[in-house]
Structure formats: structure tokens, C-alpha cells
Amino acid sequence: MNQRVAVITGCSSGFGLLSTVELARKGYFVIATMRDLARRDSLDEALLSAGVAERVSVRTLDVASPPSHETFVAETVAEFGRIDVLVNNAGFALAGFAEDVMLEELRRQFETNFFGTVSLTRAVLPVMRKQRAGRIVMISSVSGRNAYPGISSYASSKFALEGYTEALRLEMAPLGIHCVLVEPGSFQTAIWNRKENNAVHAFDPTSPNRERILRYRDYVQKQTRRGDPREVARLIAHVADVQHPRLRYVIGEDARSSLAFRALLPWRLYETIVSRVLKLDK
């Protein structure tokens, strides 16, 4: 196949679904993956509506199951001959103050957001090395540079991803493989709304942090109403094609302002503002 091939993880909803449509529109053949194919209906509807269904193959892939990754990549290359772009989008956000998050919950967060992503990336790298070309797009978050209360598990997994990608970019650039971080702020996706993503004890009436996590959840839900996730999908499609991609692409007004405040303000003042805005001192 001479057509460019992109692999995207976490395509049942959100950025993964929308970026599948955008990359297919740009002429890519997209391998859209998800853990459970029973959740593919929204993707199928979007592809039919956009008129690009023939450019997409929907496959099963559990990012948190590394033993399956090499087989998946081998089968993809055997069928399509190449992988030009890997978009590591699959992930979830575990809500809960650090005191209320159990160690096994933190490990589960890292298995998907970090270790699973690293495993799939490692499986794809030999293919791109052989091609002497490729692009790996990591969907990180502004929380990978600014950690906020109530999402310490999520933020730490994204901090790890940021460091890994910085080093990987330097290692792979001489081979024609570009590694890029996309750092969204708050957008209208389901990542913050799934109850199964809450730490077991996060909203427990006996938790000393219950009122604070409830206030933080309300704040986040208000913020996410502002962002159109299609903007992120269009950025991902741009990053896949641009000749000389930057290391980081920040998107979202809240993300840009957050990073600016963090860079410009002394930590003590920044800490005070965050505490007041999120009403943590009540």
C-alpha cells in the first residue's frame, strides 16, 4: 500500500474518534483501535457522516495489555505494509486526592497512560526505523506540566509521558522519526465524566477530602464546556503532516494561561491563587 497509514488508539470517543475522521479526510488510511468493539457505533456514524468509512479499519487493541502489542503491529505491517503515524491517544483520568488513591489504582493509571503507551511505541519503532521515517504523536495534557489537586495520579502519569517523549525525540530525530507532544487543556470529552475513573474512596462520605474533590469536579466540568474537541483533532492532523514539528503543541485558552501563570508567578503566589480559585482552603 502506497497510501500513508496511521494508527490511533482510544477511538471509541473523544479525541481518538475525531482525529480518526480528520486524518482519513487528509488521505490517510487509519487503523482506529479501541479496547471494546461494542463501543464502535459512534465512530462508525462519524465516519459515514464524513464520507470516509472506506479509509478506516477498526481493530481491537487494549493499550494496557502489552503482550498483544507486537502481534498487533506485525499484523498491521503484514496487511498494510507500513505505519507512518502513531497517535497514542488512549488514556483515562483517575479522580481523587492523593490521600484517597490506593496504590493499585495508581498502578492502573500508569499501566494505560504510561506503560501501555511506551509498550506500543516500542513495538512500532522498529517499523519506523526500517522506513527511516515516522511520526509519533503523544496526547499528553497541560496536567503533564502543571499538576492540579484532585488529579495527582493523572498528572504524574502525564509528567512521566512528557519526560519519556523528550528523551525519545532526541534519540529518534536522527533517524527521521519525529516525536511530538500535544497538550490540551479542558475540552468536552468523556474523560472526566466516567464514574469508573473515580478512585474508590475519592467521594466516600468518610473522606476528609470529599467536599474539596466535589468542588474541584464542579470547577472542571465548567471548564470543559468551553473547549471544542474538534480543535484538538485538527491539530493532531496538522502535527501528523507538518514538515518540521515542534516538540510541544499547547491547545486551549486555559492551558496557555495556566502555563503562563506558572512561568511568571512566584510559586507561593501561584499556590495561593490556585487554592482560592479551586476553593481548597474552605
Among residues 28, 154, 216, 249, the one annotated as catalytic is 154
Residue the block writes with cell 472542571 = 220
Residue 154 annotated among the catalytic residues of the structure: yes
Amino acid present at 39: R
Q: The cell 470529552 sits on which residue?
A: 189
138 touches 85 (CB < 8 A): no
Q: Are 82 and 131 in contact (CB under 8 A)?
A: yes
* 83 and 127 Cβ atoms separated by less than 8 Å: yes
How many C-alpha atoms does 187 have within 13 Å on its Cβ side?
21
Measure the CA–CA gap between 259 and 256, rounded to whole angstroms.
Answer: 5
In this structure, which amino acid lies at residue 4? R
- The residues that are catalytic are 154
